[in-house]
């Protein structure tokens, strides 16, 4: 089945230790998004890629970066995680010419010790 996959599902890191979260998709969608969702809050868009074009939200901290080496994969790098970065990180995809629905992966829950 076509889907959005996130690895790992649970990630524990130490304060200040860089961490990378991974997302892959078999939907062949042009657009990939990264959202941050803190406990009991709405998902908040961090950035997205339209093909190789990177779009950063204005209020996304510099501590967060992303890479998209090819259509299928997208990575979220947190350079120096702080306690406030503990959250669920959601990856989503969409294919704008065919619709505006976004397809989400199961998420990676990040814990910062």
**Closer residue to other proteins in complex, CB, 70/101:** 101
**Closer residue to other proteins in complex, CB, 11/102:** 102
4/33 Cα distance (integer angstroms): 11
Q: Are 11 and 108 in contact (CB under 8 A)?
A: yes
Tokens found for residue 111: 């814990």
**Closer residue to other proteins in complex, CB, 24/102:** 102
In the complex, the residues that contact other proteins under the rule CB under 8 A are 4, 6, 31, 40-45, 48, 50, 55, 88, 90, 92, 94, 96-97, 99-107, 109
CB of 113 to other proteins, least distance (A): 19
Q: Are 39 and 69 in contact (CB under 8 A)?
A: no
Our CA angle for 48, 3, 31, nearest 5°, is 20
Name residue, tokens 């910062």: 112
CB of 3 to other proteins, least distance (A): 10
CB of 80 to other proteins, least distance (A): 26
């Amino acid at each position: 089945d076509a889907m959005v996959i996130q690895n790992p599902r649970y990630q524990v890191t130490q304060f200040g230790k860089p961490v990378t979260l991974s997302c892959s998709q078999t939907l062949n969608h042009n657009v990939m998004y990264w959202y941050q969702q803190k406990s009991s809050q709405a998902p908040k868009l961090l950035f997205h890629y339209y093909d190789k074009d990177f779009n950063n939200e204005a209020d996304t901290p510099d501590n967060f970066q992303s890479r998209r080496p090819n259509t299928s994969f997208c990575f979220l790098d947190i350079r120096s995680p702080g306690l406030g970065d503990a959250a669920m990180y959601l990856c989503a995809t969409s294919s704008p010419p065919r619709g505006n629905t976004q397809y989400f992966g199961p998420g990676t829950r990040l814990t910062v010790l």
